[in-house]
Amino acid sequence: MSEIRAGVEAARDLDDLYAVFAEGRLTAGWHKKRPSLWREPRTEFRPNRWRYADAAAAMDKAGEWMSTEDAERRNLLMFNPVGDNDYDTVRTIVTAYQMIQPGEYARSHRHTANAMRLILDGEEGVYTVVDGVKLPMRPGDFLLTPNWAWHSHYNEGTAKAYWIDFLDVPLVHRLEPMFAENLAAVHQTVEAEPDPETCPLVFTRARVVAEMAGQPVRPGGGRRLVLPTQGHVPTLSVTYVELPAGASDAAGRSTASRIFAATSGAGVARLGDGAFDWTRGDVFCLPSWHDFEIRATSDALLVEVSDEPTLRLLGFLREEPLVR
Ligand code: GTQ
Ligand code: FE2
């Protein structure tokens, strides 16, 4: 007879039985420490805002002491201020600022996590190579680095370059299909240099602004434009939000989590019960099941990155109308 079986036979009451269960790494569903089901989502992640000016100053300072040869990337992760979390921005997405100095490169690697980049500042000569395809990184551009694509970044210009990275690494952590490796050669061979206006991995600011003009004006006075990124990055969606001064964008609670980054303009955001102001380059996060309202105080263009496609595909997407 197994030890557990012997313990079960010897038990004289339920408490005896619970002790035996624990030995066997079992737990009684009617006697567990915490609930496993609840009425509606109750994320511990909190709305938060990060300042580009602070991050840029910090990366500039770090750049005096470390090079991109010392580190894989000179990036500053924006982690959600909850518990002992020190990585996730929201449950499924991590966001980081990254800076690369003139003459530097960030060596080539690849990983199963998808990455996307919003370029904030830089001059000519800044580019990323994605699977041998050389793509310029110009302010306002949005670039995709799909799952398992080799990527390395270069700054052959004369000014520092700054951008924001969005990755689904926390989702990959949760589902556990993580693979990553460095390219033995450090540099990739450049095999193509396509026109960024037609390359499916690049969305230039000019293209976004032109296509936005064809979108209908929404209640609140702004416009939205969803980028056709699904074929390359299936886990996340990318939506540009154009808000003329005084316009607003709002939505009710959703099981999707979102990150917003301001590419231009300034304004305020109510995120759940939190209130934040924001300006160009700032990032703010809206964890799942928080409603929001964003208002521009000067003409603004924001990017919203959401895990909505993942929730939708799995049958977990639920949205409420705005009730406030
Ligand atoms: O540029 O390859 O912020 O792999 C985090 C992980 C940037 C990148 C990040 C990455 C990268
Ligand atoms: Fe990477």
Structural domains for the chain: 1-37 (no CATH), 48-201 (2.60.120.10), 208-314 (2.60.120.10)
CA angle 121, 124, 126 (to 5 degrees): 70
CA angle 105, 73, 177 (to 5 degrees): 120
Q: What Rg do the C-alpha atoms of the chain give, in angstroms? A: 23
- What is the DSSP-derived secondary structure letter of residue 16? H
Show the tokens assigned to 162.
Answer: 């700054």
Which pLDDT score is estimated for 291?
98
46 Cα–ligand 1 center, Å: 23
Which numbered atom of ligand 1 lies nearest the CA of 113?
4
- Cβ of residue 152 lying under 6 Å from some atom of ligand 1: no
> Which candidate, 250, 252, 230, 240, places its Cα nearest to that of 312?
230
- Residue with token string 């041998």: 132
Which numbered atom of ligand 1 lies nearest the CA of 106?
1
What are the strands, taking DSSP E only, across 137-213? 142-145, 151-155, 161-167, 180-182, 202-203
The Cα–Cα gap between 54 and 75 comes to 13
- Cβ of residue 68 lying under 6 Å from some atom of ligand 1: no
Which pLDDT score is estimated for 248?
98
28 Cα–ligand 2 center, Å: 43
- Cβ of residue 76 lying under 6 Å from some atom of ligand 1: no
Probe ligand 1: pick from 98, 108, 120, 182, max atoms within 8 Å of CB?
Answer: 98
Burial (0-12, 13-18, 19+ Cβ within 10 Å), 22: exposed
- Cβ of residue 151 lying under 6 Å from some atom of ligand 1: yes
The Cα–Cα gap between 313 and 118 comes to 25
Which pLDDT score is estimated for 323?
79
What's the pTM?
0.97
323 Cα–ligand 2 center, Å: 40
pLDDT, tens digit (0-9, with 9 covering 90-100), for 134-145:
999 999 999 999
Task: Report residues of the chain scoring pLDDT below 50.
Answer: none
Residue type present at position 8: V
